[in-house]
Chain A
Amino acid sequence: MVQLASGTSVSGKLQQPTNSVLPWVATAARLVLAGFLAVAGALKIGTPAISVQAVRAYQLLPDSLAQAFGYGLPVLEIILGVLLVIGLLTRPVAVISGLLMIAFMIGIGSAWARGLRIDCGCFGGGGQLAAGQEPTYFWELLRDVGLLACAAWIAIRPPGRLAMDSALGLTGSAGDEEAEPVDEPRSDHT
């Protein structure tokens, strides 16, 4: 714990001017992204057959893959959401979330381009729209762009305040911590 404390103080000194606000931005981004992911996953996980149907409606994946995606996606979304809230493995989780958002945008964009009339199925339901309903692809895409921005911010400046990563000492690259002792023997020799 002593080493951890000294490690944080060093990085703290380096980031002094921006230290107070920026980490909270990452925390906020984590909570926003986590909220969407966890809710989307929770609404779908109980009825995986509908989730599979929503994936099939995009007509992008072969059936076995659509099945796997339909079952796996809600589980993945919930796990990513929980990890983002507690700030555990923040950077890899942010990267995976960002890639997921890109995949969603490709799916929605291609459904739009092909003129399919479907619900994105993001929060349960999904599939063909009834006669009176119009697709809302633009807003779905805009939302995903926003969430992608959150993911990118978190990936660039992880983990933010209130993160398990900091508590467990999983933050900071090994290079930062090695810099300290490597410098010292050199100064001794001179």
Chain B
Amino acid sequence: MSKRTSEAARARIAAQREALRKQERRKRITMIVTVVVIGIVAVAAGWWSVAQGTAEKVTGNLAPVTLESDGTVVMARPGVTAPVLDVYEDYQCPACKQMEETSGSTIKNLAAEGKAKVVYHVITIFQQEPTRSNSLRAANAARCVTDGSEYMKFHDLLYSRQPSETQTGFSVDDLLKWGKEAGVTSSGFESCVRGQSKVAAQEQFTSKIMATGKITGTPTVMLDGKPLDTSVVFVPSDLRDAVIKAGK
């Protein structure tokens, strides 16, 4: 009797063990499948996200750059007057640097393709130190450049070498060195940068723009006078689409 019982018990235990093993295996497989699926979704989402933020390459020559007497800088192919893309930025503003890195090339390409007239308005948005003086020194130096293509090179150098907001930067010596790098050769550049001769003009230019109340921060990008949402400005493909659509 007892032998049979224990045999039956043993069989039952064996069956239970087998069932447990199966259950554990199923659990493991479910776990692996789940993790793999999550991994695939993560990679796909990451890939899409990277695509949203990837900058265009500047293809070919820039559209001609004109330094206007009112302090704005126009980049457009001859005869292209619309749509107008107004870029309000500050050389010291980190978000402007981010915008230039992300969408700056798209803006240049759109102008080069004749798809837009681009107008840069470099202002000094900062009220506190050291950012205000940094911004003014940089903007002053840019205003000392007298040639359009040199200006754009200098503009790009200023963004790529933007100092931290917590320290004094854009020193006069650095600005002169970078001017040389950008190909600035005009004789008045050094005295203009050292003498800060254009600071007053920069301050006036800024207060005139701020007085209109159209700008609350930098960067602000306007398409035909209407501010574009940051979710468009910082996504190169969306910015391109918006400008192309406005040109139709």
Contact = CB atoms under 8 A, between A and B. Distances in A.
A150 to B, nearest CB: 21
Contacts of B226: none
B164 interface: yes
Interface residues of B, number: 45
A88 B41 CA distance: 15
Contacts of B94: 53, 56-57, 127-128
Contacts of A78: 45
Contacts of A168: 30, 34
A169 interface: yes
Given A46-B231, A174-B24, A128 B46 contact: no
Interface stretch (B14-22, B65-73, B171-179, B196-204): B14-22
Contacts, number: 106
Contact of B49 (A59, A74, A127, A180): A74
A131 B206 CA distance: 15
Given A3-B23, A131-B127, A71 B13 contact: no
Interface stretch (A14-22, A31-39, A97-105, A181-189): A181-189
Contacts of A145: none
Contacts of B98: 49-50, 52-53, 56
Contacts of A46: 52, 231, 235
B42 interface: yes
Contacts of A74: 49
B6 interface: yes
A127 B24 contact: no
Counting chain A CB atoms within 10 Å of each CB, which of B93, B103, B216, B231 scores highest?
B231
Contacts of B10: 185
12 contacts: A45-B52, A46-B231, A46-B235, A48-B52, A50-B234, A71-B46, A71-B50, A71-B53, A74-B49, A130-B216, A131-B128, A170-B31
A127 B231 CA distance: 15
Interface of A: 3-4, 45-50, 52-53, 56-57, 59, 71-72, 74-76, 78-79, 83, 88-89, 116, 125, 127-128, 130-131, 168-170, 174, 177-178, 180-181, 184-185, 188
Nearest to A72: B46
Given A79-B45, A89-B34, A188 B9 contact: yes
A184 B7 CA distance: 13
Closest 8 CB pairs of A and B: A48-B53, A49-B102, A53-B98, A49-B234, A75-B45, A49-B53, A181-B16, A47-B234
Give the interface SS of chain A, mostly helix, strand, loop or mixed.
helix
A175 to B, nearest CB: 12
B193 to A, nearest CB: 26
A178 B235 contact: no
B20 A177 contact: yes
B32 to A, nearest CB: 11
Interface in B165-201: 165-166
B26 interface: yes
B41 A79 contact: yes
A171 B82 CA distance: 63
Contacts of A131: 127-128
B210 to A, nearest CB: 11
A125 to B, nearest CB: 8
Contact of A45 (B45, B99, B217): B45
Nearest to B33: A168
Contacts of B45: 45, 75, 78-79
B219 to A, nearest CB: 11
A74 B50 CA distance: 11
Nearest to B19: A3
